[in-house]
């Protein structure tokens, strides 16, 4: 049976990229009737230095973001990774399956470690083994993510295939990444060749899920564009990175496609299109940030949801981990 798993790092500051590339699509999948598990990957977060109080707050805020976007703990299993120890347990086995050479090729490691690789945590290097465990400890078949996670899902497939091959079993499924929709790679508002990211030093480069209406409008008004009118067909966006990005954002927010959006707005200049985009963004995002703030007033309720989600997640993960232990040859008594 199909099973969906995905995760987001609670490192503070959810962006429009996280929302359109991931969270909004988590909700779509939840409502399509398949079994869905969505995780706050706090153990991945500490691969980079985190202040403990900030990590706690960011984990609860991410949970609030999930709930405010429309994830329903009655329909989806929502939990934080560290409350399900089976992830780390299977992650260790996968550290022994993954090859140094595979991990060495990961672009996220190269980006995050920067120039000073000697000083990066070992956890940052083996991050993808734990990510593979997140997915495979549930035998998840589909993983909705943004484009930037594609390489990690390919590694997950390689790990599953090598485990199956080395132990002569057909145990772990070969998971499919689900990278769909108009906003699989939302770009910076200041530079259409860079990904929108919570770690960009310029706050004007991104829209945060917690930005108020005026801030959203201001950031869109100041977003980099070109002087030309919008084309009426997508081919006309060729080489116009910033224009393409704003059209993609509009389409994703509106559950539409770039083609359909351009049919409507082709011929408009940015001074006409930007206010339309602001209005749409505020209409879609304000209810979410309002609800997030409301939910954050009762963190005990959030913690309760995460605890209950973790218990449900463990029910699925535990027998799969037991089987993996048996396959590997660990004595269980
Ligand atoms: P993270 O926390 O960096 O991002 C969470 C999700 O948001 C997507 N995303 C974007 N999508 C479109 N445009 C953008 N500008 C943009 N920025 C971020 C990401 O692609 C991701 O889907 N390694 C993962 C977390 C993880 C995970 C997993 C995901 C850990 N275990 C298992 C799936 C399955 C990460 O760092 O995502």
pLDDT in tens, the chain (333 residues): 899 999 999 998 899 999 999 999 999 999 998 999 999 999 999 999 999 999 999 999 999 999 999 999 999 999 999 999 999 999 999 999 999 999 999 999 999 999 989 999 999 999 999 999 999 999 999 999 999 999 999 999 999 999 999 999 999 999 999 999 999 999 999 999 999 999 999 999 999 999 999 999 999 999 999 999 999 999 999 999 999 999 999 999 999 999 999 999 999 999 999 999 999 999 999 999 999 999 999 999 999 999 999 999 999 999 999 999 999 999 999
Helices and strands per DSSP (H, E), number in the chain: 14, 5
Looking at the fold, whether 76 and 218 belong to one and the same domain comes out as no
In a domain, 140, yes or no: yes
In a domain, 210, yes or no: yes
Q: Is 6 in the pocket of ligand 1 (CB under 6 A)?
A: yes
Our count of domains for the chain comes to 2
Q: Which residues are known to be catalytic?
A: 112, 195, 198
Looking at the fold, whether 107 and 146 belong to one and the same domain comes out as yes
Looking at the fold, whether 56 and 159 belong to one and the same domain comes out as yes
Q: In which domain, by residue range, is 241 found?
A: 203-294
Looking at the fold, whether 277 and 237 belong to one and the same domain comes out as yes
- Is 5 in a helix, a strand, or coil? strand
Looking at the fold, whether 161 and 252 belong to one and the same domain comes out as no
Looking at the fold, whether 65 and 95 belong to one and the same domain comes out as yes
Q: Which atom of ligand 1 is nearest to the CA of 11?
A: 2
Residues 150 and 179: beta-carbon distance below 8 Å:
yes
Looking at the fold, whether 12 and 154 belong to one and the same domain comes out as yes
Looking at the fold, whether 49 and 165 belong to one and the same domain comes out as yes
Strands 142-144 and 76-80: what pairing?
Answer: unpaired
Q: Is 177 in the pocket of ligand 1 (CB under 6 A)?
A: no
In a domain, 195, yes or no: no
Q: Residue 242: give its domain's CATH number.
A: 1.10.240.10
Kindly give the distance from the C-alpha atom of residue 330 to the centroid of ligand 1, in angstroms, as a whole number.
33
């Amino acid at each position: 049976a199909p099973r969906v798993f995905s995760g987001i790092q609670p490192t503070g500051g959810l962006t429009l990229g996280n929302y359109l590339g991931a969270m909004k699509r988590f909700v779509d999948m939840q409502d399509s009737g398949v079994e869905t598990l969505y995780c706050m990957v706090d153990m991945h977060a500490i691969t980079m230095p985190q202040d403990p109080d900030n990590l706690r707050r960011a984990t609860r805020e991410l949970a609030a973001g999930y709930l405010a976007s429309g994830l329903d703990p009655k329909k989806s299993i929502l939990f934080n990774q560290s409350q399900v120890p089976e992830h780390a347990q299977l992650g260790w086995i996968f550290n022994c399956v993954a090859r140094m050479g595979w991990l060495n090729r990961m672009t996220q490691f190269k980006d995050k470690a920067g120039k000073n690789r000697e000083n990066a945590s070992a956890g940052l290097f083996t991050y993808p083994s734990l990510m593979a465990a997140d997915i495979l400890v549930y035998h998840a078949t589909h993983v909705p993510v943004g484009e930037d996670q594609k390489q990690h899902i390919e590694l997950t497939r390689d790990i599953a295939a090598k485990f199956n091959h080395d132990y002569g079993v057909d145990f772990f499924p070969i998971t499919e990444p689900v990278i769909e929709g108009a906003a699989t790679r939302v770009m910076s508002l200041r530079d259409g060749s860079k990904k929108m990211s919570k770690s960009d030093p310029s706050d004007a480069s991104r829209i945060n899920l917690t930005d108020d209406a005026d801030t959203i409008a201001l950031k869109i008004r100041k977003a980099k564009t070109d002087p030309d009118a919008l084309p009426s067909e997508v081919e006309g966006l060729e080489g116009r990175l910033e224009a393409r990005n704003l059209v993609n954002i509009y389409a994703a927010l509106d559950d539409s496609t770039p083609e359909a959006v351009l049919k409507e707005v082709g011929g408009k200049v940015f001074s006409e299109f930007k206010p339309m985009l602001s209005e749409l963004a505020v209409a879609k995002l304000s209810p979410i940030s309002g609800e997030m703030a409301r939910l954050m007033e009762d963190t005990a309720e959030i913690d309760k949801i995460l605890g209950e989600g973790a218990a449900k997640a463990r029910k699925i993960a535990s027998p799969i981990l037991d089987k993996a232990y048996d396959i590997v040859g660990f004595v269980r008594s």
